[in-house]
Chain A
Amino acid sequence: MSWLGTVWLVPLYPLLGALFSLLWSPGLISRTGPRPSGYVNLLMVSIAFGHSLMALLSLSSNSEAGQAAIYAPPSFQWTWLQTSGLSIGFDGLVTEPGLIAMTVITGLHVLVQIFSIGYLEMDWGWPRFFGALSFFEAGLCGLVLTDSVFFSYVLLELLTVGTYVIVGTWYNQSLVVKGARDAFLTKRIGDLILLAGVIALLPITGTWNFHGLQAWAADLTNNAQPLPPGFQLILLALVAGPMGKCAQIPLHLWLDEAMESPLPSTVLRNSVVVIGGAWVLLRLEPLIALSPLVQGVLVVVGGTTALVASLIALGQIDVKRALSFLVSSWLGLLFVAVGLGGIGVADHLLLVYPLPMALMLMAIGTIVISNVTQDLTQLGGLWSRRPLMGIAFLAGAAGLMGLPPFGGFAALRELLELAANSQLPLVLGGLVLITNGLLSAALMRVFGLIWGGRPTPFTVRSPEVLWLMVLPVMLLLGLVLHIPQLLVHLGVYTLSPVPGWGPMGWPLLLSTLVGAGTSAWFYLRPHPLAELPSGLGGLQHWLAEDMHTEAFYHRTVVALVVGLARLSAWSDRQLVDGFSSGTGGVAMEGARRLSYTTSGRSQTYALSLVLGVLLMAAWLLSR
């Protein structure tokens, strides 16, 4: 029983932790208070982290087993359903990328759960909160282990439910409840379209396994066969799931709404849960590559999201929302990479993303909890008071901008190179450069508004927070700064002279410097131009309101459903119900009339009985 062979246990540890939390539900354990539930969950996710780290190390240190595992990954089977020729199994597959992803997921969960103990010091919702966090971890670890597109759907859907529960936990506030609802329903749309695609896929390909699908696609290409009819539609449906999960326009609403939940869950959602969608997208890439149409859709959707979401982020005054739109924007770039067929580039974009985003959000969390506001206009001047967190935020931001030698640079440069070699080099290359500039500007704006400028009434006193929050941030800071070294160590990049330098390095660096520099000039010190002239204020307002997307949904989808529901309720009352009470009335009237035929004389009844028996006998005899 090696670490590698028992990797399937990893999702089960946190699941067990989540189940343990149920013991602290109301009416069961109340004497201890809710805190032990948090410790139990922390223990379980730590075990999960230890296990996946050991498995990863045994893969890379034991060269023989490692080599064997890379070319014939250990697999495990669990048949979930078998009936009438349909057999659905979990089909676990332990690949090296999966192990890396699992180590990142479990490691971040350990840090965030420690962080949460500090963050939720005064809260009473521990069992639900920690249970839900562990549930997320179980779902994500399952997602990276499964080789089945069906189970990927199942797990994405369960993550959707997890979001609903974790957001709704703080249900005393009406905004939270609305956020939970919107988050669930928006993601459910994407999930259901994905399910439709999954269902339609099986009769065509005969398999739900990613590797089977890859082989099927290769077969199709090698034999130069045309795509089955309707296959592009199925592909679009399959892509809708990741689109919803990665908060791409037009399914981006939920991420912003889900911000209502406590910050530690935001950290995980924005760093690893959204990546779950991207993971599934990457695994579908062999199929997507079959259809230029779907690739085009991905480029358009991703490109629009990248550009527009970064603009929207620039208009936000809520710090959590500002960062959540940057999530959409970054993942938009990933969609562009997949659409352009750059699976390797998309891989790298995915690799470098989670840790810096988590670091920034955790740093923000320490500010929000001690300054009791997340409104950017009420913060400022914290550099003299909270420099550690400022450095942490800057490190995270540097990790996502195209700034050498930090983590994000190499991946963005590769994307720029890919775009420059595409059919639309100017448009797509420009898109990447502008998005990178805007991303850098938005990140620097957040930094400037919090740490730059003069102290406000909210920030005059800003004590450092509990060590339980500072420690994980510092640990993560170290990790984020070492991402390039880690990637070089793993052989993703070579060290020449900085990791990932190559063609198109200069333009990318320039766009970063222009974006971040302009933003720093505006926001590090209060600058008169930081307040937009009134003519442009409307634009900022429009962006701050997420281009009125929510109102748009209310006027279209929601209005349609509500209207149809009212219409059918009306028709049910008027037609069906009316008809039914009509028949009821007729029956009652008939019964009343019929009652006049009774005379009360028992002879008449007896006679009718006898007549009936005689008739029946006659009929029987006549046969």
Chain B
Amino acid sequence: MDLLLLLLIPLLAGLVLPLLPDGSPWVRRGALAAALLQLLDGLWLWQHPPAAISAGWLPQLGLRLELGLDGLTLPLVLLAALLTAMAVMASPVDQSRPRLFFALMLATNVGLIGAFLARNALLFLLAYELILIPTTLLVATWGGERRAGAAIRFLTYGAVSGVALLAAVLALGWLQPGGLNFSYTALADHSLSAVQQRWILALVLLAFGLKLPVVPLHGWQPLTYSQAPTPVAMLMSGVVSKLGAYGLLRFGLEFLPDAWAAWSPWLAAVGAISAIYGALNAIAQLEMRRLVAYSSLGHMGMLLLALAAATPLSLQGVIAQMLAHGLIIALLFCLVGLIELRTGTSAIPELSGLLNPQRGLPFTLGLMLLALLAAAGVPGLAGFVAELLVFEGSWVAFPWPTLVCLLASGLTAVYAIRLFNRVGFGRLDNDRADWVSTSWGERAPALVLTALVLVAGLWPSMLTGFSETATAPLALRSSDAVTVIAMAPANLNSPNLNPAQLPA
């Protein structure tokens, strides 16, 4: 029942909100309350692990209402709830057509939570497809100038992804020896032949590669992220894309380990190429939203590398990267949205000197610097923890792709600094600089996300603590060499320490 509450809160809120009178401030407040309530419920469930739910639904189809929460999904559920709340906070107070907008946001949330909680592949598929509808509508209705094209493209790619996943799920279910069964427990110990596994894995890779996305399946991403309204971009880049990573972890690594192991060198290579390609493209962008979109592509490449390496450490890196990237990318979109709201543009060449303490947007840009440094993997911030785990975990398995990803991490700094130098530093354009400074209400989501990015950098257990026991059994390779404890306290007090050997 506890688990159902996670789903029911946004579902009920989404159904009730449209009944409120148009223009009522309670629509936005209600949506925020629902998301926060869900977050609280998630935190409660973290401390009090709930029992899994299993109930029949359409037994003939193999569809059962199987829900569960483990270390893999708990952090993602919390992330989804948190980012939904932040996205609602980041939406303007005078949001146009608020009832529909917030209902669709909550519908997206229901789909996300459903997909994360599902313990049945068919149920996962349903939730996965459900997300596509509200997100497309959100982009198509409230997006930028090219919203129609963006929505169509997003829908097309999403549909292909859905069809591929459908085929994969059906194949997994049908090929069960014990009859039609889509339950995760059944799928995890199947006895598929190597060839069967590979065919299914190809479909799974197509489905989730489109969602993540990775090169060259990312065609929808820059356009969609640049056209989506800020809250929707936060939610899509922060959580919806993580569904791709989660799907690869669950369907690829867990259900099809042999095929995954066989193809992992190629996957690592694709990950490295995505990382470098995303970073290079981000350098060439002249528009902040597109820059952030390509930066996301690059980080997803690193995630794929860690998934391919599949050592215990790199899988911890996967979880950490999902959470860190979710927080950072949502923060970046939130800040870009704020800048856009004030200055009316997100074109990099049109902006300069926004850090100016008198007439610029110093607060927003200060947070922007932190967010960009976090994206660039500077120590002390969340992004570094994730990248460190990814690199250290993947190094023993795939040294060359790891090196390429390190290079990509260096290029990340290039576009981060390039963006900040142009937008933050330099002279303020005196003719245009008469902006009202941002209010605390507008800053709130960015502040919360910044705080979390900082805390996660200083206290990385926040990113890794949930999931260690859940990821360890999934590992395909051992990271033996790394398991040697990095601390050697025994050496510290040894009497043969020669002070002359230390630098003065």
Q: With A and B bound together, what is the CA distance between A312 and B216 in angstroms? A: 48
Q: With A and B bound together, what is the CA distance between A184 and B61 in angstroms? A: 59
Taking CB atoms and an 8 Å cut-off, the chain A residues in 601-617 that contact chain B are none
Taking CB atoms and an 8 Å cut-off, the chain B residues in 450-504 that contact chain A are 460-461, 464-465, 468, 471-472, 479, 481-489, 491-495, 497, 499-504
Given contacts A208-B486, A282-B503, A565-B281, contact A184 B426 (CB under 8 A): no
Q: List 21 A-B contacts (CB under 8 A).
A: A72-B495, A72-B497, A77-B487, A83-B389, A85-B485, A101-B504, A157-B379, A158-B379, A161-B378, A192-B407, A195-B406, A200-B399, A207-B487, A208-B486, A215-B491, A286-B501, A343-B503, A351-B504, A565-B280, A568-B284, A569-B284
**B binding-site residues for A, Cβ under 8 Å:** 60-61, 149, 152-153, 156-157, 180, 215-216, 218-220, 222-223, 277, 280-281, 283-285, 312-313, 315-316, 353, 355, 357-358, 362-363, 366, 369, 373, 378-380, 385, 388-389, 391-393, 395-396, 399, 402-403, 406-407, 409-411, 413-414, 417-418, 421, 424-427, 437, 460-461, 464-465, 468, 471-472, 479, 481-489, 491-495, 497, 499-504
- Contact status A83-B468, CB under 8 Å: yes
Q: Of the candidates A202, A565, A584, which one forms a contact with B152 in the assembled complex, judged by CB atoms under 8 Å apart?
A: A584
Q: With A and B bound together, what is the CA distance between A214 and B499 in angstroms? A: 12
Distance to closest chain A CB from B411 (angstroms): 7
Top-7 shortest CB links A-B: A580-B219, A203-B481, A206-B484, A85-B483, A282-B503, A569-B284, A171-B425
* Per-position 1/0 for A81-112, Cβ under 8 A of B: 11111111101010111101100000000000
Interface residues on A, range: 35 or more
Q: Which residues of A contact B61 (CB under 8 A)?
A: 620
Q: Which residues of A contact B149 (CB under 8 A)?
A: 581, 584
Given contacts A27-B362, A98-B502, A171-B353, contact A89 B426 (CB under 8 A): no
- Contact status B220-A181, CB under 8 Å: no
* Per-position 1/0 for A165-185, Cβ under 8 A of B: 100100110101110110011
- Contact status B363-A569, CB under 8 Å: no
Q: Of the candidates A192, A211, A583, which one forms a contact with B491 in the assembled complex, judged by CB atoms under 8 Å apart?
A: A211
Inter-chain pairs besides A174-B427, A189-B410, A196-B406, 6 sampled, C-beta below 8 Å: A168-B421, A171-B425, A207-B488, A211-B492, A492-B504, A568-B280
Q: With A and B bound together, what is the CA distance between A532 and B171 in angstroms? A: 83
Q: With A and B bound together, what is the CA distance between A387 and B61 in angstroms? A: 95
In this complex, the member of A85, A91, A211 whose beta carbon has the largest number of chain B beta carbons within 10 angstroms is A85
Q: Which residues of A contact B501 (CB under 8 A)?
A: 214, 286, 343
Q: Of the candidates B153, B316, B424, B479, which one forms a contact with A584 in the assembled complex, judged by CB atoms under 8 Å apart?
A: B153
In this complex, the member of A158, A204, A212, A348 whose beta carbon has the largest number of chain B beta carbons within 10 angstroms is A212
Distance to closest chain A CB from B495 (angstroms): 6
Q: With A and B bound together, what is the CA distance between A165 and B378 in angstroms? A: 13
Which of A4-12, A50-58, A372-380, A571-579 is the contact stretch? A571-579
- Nearest neighbor of A204 in chain B, beta-carbon distance: B481
- Contact status B385-A192, CB under 8 Å: no
- Contact status A584-B492, CB under 8 Å: no
Q: Which residues of A contact B396 (CB under 8 A)?
A: 203
Q: With A and B bound together, what is the CA distance between A32 and B364 in angstroms? A: 23
In this complex, the member of A25, A72, A343, A569 whose beta carbon has the largest number of chain B beta carbons within 10 angstroms is A569
Is the CB of A150 closer than 8 A to any CB of chain B? yes
- Contact status A181-B379, CB under 8 Å: no
Is the CB of A147 closer than 8 A to any CB of chain B? yes
In this complex, the member of B283, B461, B499, B501 whose beta carbon has the largest number of chain A beta carbons within 10 angstroms is B501
Is the CB of A525 closer than 8 A to any CB of chain B? no
- Nearest neighbor of B484 in chain A, beta-carbon distance: A206
Q: Of the candidates B153, B316, B357, which one forms a contact with A83 in the assembled complex, judged by CB atoms under 8 Å apart?
A: B316
- Contact status A174-B426, CB under 8 Å: yes
- Nearest neighbor of B156 in chain A, beta-carbon distance: A587
- Nearest neighbor of A156 in chain B, beta-carbon distance: B379
Q: With A and B bound together, what is the CA distance between A168 and B353 in angstroms? A: 11
Is the CB of A154 closer than 8 A to any CB of chain B? yes
Q: With A and B bound together, what is the CA distance between A93 and B392 in angstroms? A: 25
Given contacts A84-B312, A96-B499, contact A184 B417 (CB under 8 A): yes
Distance to closest chain B CB from A446 (angstroms): 28
Q: Of the candidates B215, B316, B366, B492, which one forms a contact with A25 in the assembled complex, judged by CB atoms under 8 Å apart?
A: B366
Given contacts A158-B380, A350-B503, contact A85 B281 (CB under 8 A): no
Q: With A and B bound together, what is the CA distance between A572 and B279 in angstroms? A: 12
* Per-position 1/0 for A551-593, Cβ under 8 A of B: 0000000000110111111001001110111011001100000
- Contact status A87-B492, CB under 8 Å: no
- Contact status A568-B403, CB under 8 Å: no
Taking CB atoms and an 8 Å cut-off, the chain A residues in 339-362 that contact chain B are 343-344, 346-348, 350-351
- Contact status A192-B316, CB under 8 Å: no
Q: With A and B bound together, what is the CA distance between A70 and B500 in angstroms? A: 10
- Contact status B413-A184, CB under 8 Å: yes
Distance to closest chain A CB from B464 (angstroms): 4
Q: With A and B bound together, what is the CA distance between A344 and B355 in angstroms? A: 47
- Nearest neighbor of A171 in chain B, beta-carbon distance: B425
Is the CB of A199 closer than 8 A to any CB of chain B? yes
- Contact status B502-A561, CB under 8 Å: no
Q: Of the candidates A81, A212, A567, which one forms a contact with B460 in the assembled complex, judged by CB atoms under 8 Å apart?
A: A81
Is the CB of A451 closer than 8 A to any CB of chain B? no
- Contact status B481-A84, CB under 8 Å: no
Q: With A and B bound together, what is the CA distance between A209 and B493 in angstroms? A: 13
Is the CB of A283 closer than 8 A to any CB of chain B? yes
Q: With A and B bound together, what is the CA distance between A98 and B362 in angstroms? A: 38
Q: Of the candidates A27, A83, A188, A565, which one forms a contact with B284 in the assembled complex, judged by CB atoms under 8 Å apart?
A: A565
Is the CB of A406 closer than 8 A to any CB of chain B? no
Given contacts A150-B486, A203-B396, A569-B284, contact A583 B156 (CB under 8 A): yes
Is the CB of A71 closer than 8 A to any CB of chain B? yes
Q: Which residues of B contact A335 (CB under 8 A)?
A: none
Is the CB of A80 closer than 8 A to any CB of chain B? yes
Given contacts A82-B461, A348-B504, A561-B414, contact A161 B373 (CB under 8 A): yes
- Nearest neighbor of A81 in chain B, beta-carbon distance: B460
Q: Which residues of A contact B487 (CB under 8 A)?
A: 77, 79, 87-89, 91, 207, 209
Q: Which residues of A contact B494 (CB under 8 A)?
A: 211
Distance to closest chain B CB from A192 (angstroms): 5
Distance to closest chain B CB from A556 (angstroms): 15
Q: With A and B bound together, what is the CA distance between A371 and B403 in angstroms? A: 50
- Nearest neighbor of A79 in chain B, beta-carbon distance: B487
Is the CB of A518 closer than 8 A to any CB of chain B? no
Distance to closest chain A CB from B466 (angstroms): 11
- Contact status B410-A27, CB under 8 Å: no
Q: Which residues of A contact B218 (CB under 8 A)?
A: 576
- Contact status A347-B493, CB under 8 Å: no
Q: With A and B bound together, what is the CA distance between A565 and B403 in angstroms? A: 19
Given contacts A208-B486, A211-B491, contact A584 B504 (CB under 8 A): no
Is the CB of A164 closer than 8 A to any CB of chain B? yes
- Contact status A100-B504, CB under 8 Å: yes
- Contact status B379-A283, CB under 8 Å: no
Q: Which residues of A contact B425 (CB under 8 A)?
A: 168, 171, 176-177, 180
